[in-house]
Amino acid sequence: MKPLSACRLYTFVDTAYLDGRSPVEIAKQLCAGGSDVIQLRAKTSSEEEVQRLAELILPITRAAKVYLVINDFLAVAENVGAEFCHLGQEDFFDAGHTHISQIRPPQSALRIGLSTHAPEQAARAVAAGADYVAIGPIYATGTKPTAKPVTLDYVRWAEKNISISWFAIGGINLDTIDDVLAAGARRVCIVSAILNSSNIAKTCSEFRQRVDSAPFK
């Protein structure tokens, strides 16, 4: 697998957007479309169900040399051997943790990413030892309907101030991605703009081409 720092396109198998489709087939299409990272997000599913889905998806991502991220469920990520777990502010800092070492199992290779919604949260996440941070939501998004957009100002701040790998997320689509890249992002997370597409692989490939058009500085 390529280093995380070289990853550009982070996509999702989100059970809220399955619309009757197979999560396994969606994972295959995301890999075919050029995803570097795929997160399994299943907000209304039990830990057992998330583990079952993860066990089905991991062989697909492994074969494609794509990282698998498990949202929320640290134990599932560890149990199935996923490369990453992603946690929100409420799951980490609000739960009383101050450093990733407090929740990562001893001798574990599991890496952990954190969501951030403001510069001070990003700085705290970096200091806490996060392996990457997500910054957003950049725009209003149905994925996080109550979250206030952080705007491109946060992207510009991140480009100047975040020393680890970071991904812009939230409401990014083919009409807005160029503005996000122009503001300094070089890694993006795309959820509904791909999952709501009738041709996931094709749409994913279009995002891949856009993000690749903005070379690392």
Global confidence as pTM: 0.96
Domain definitions of the chain by residue range: 4-212
What local confidence, expressed as pLDDT, does residue 145 receive?
67
**What value does the CA radius of gyration of the chain take, rounded to a whole number of Å?**
16
Instruction: Give pLDDT tens digits for 184-194.
Output: 999 999 999 99
SS3 7: coil
Please name the residues in contact with 116: beta carbons below 8 A apart, sequence gap of 6 or more: 89, 122, 125, 133, 134, 135
Average pLDDT over residues 89-98: 94
Instruction: Give pLDDT tens digits for 142-173.
Output: 666 677 899 999 999 999 999 999 999 999 99
CA atoms of 64 and 190, how far apart (whole Å): 19
Give the pair of three-digit tokens for residue 121. 């949260």
What's the gap between Cα 54 and its chain centre? Answer: 15
- Length of the chain measured in residues: 217
Please name the residues in contact with 46: beta carbons below 8 A apart, sequence gap of 6 or more: none
Superfamily of domain 4-212: Aldolase class I (3.20.20.70)
- Average pLDDT of the chain? 95
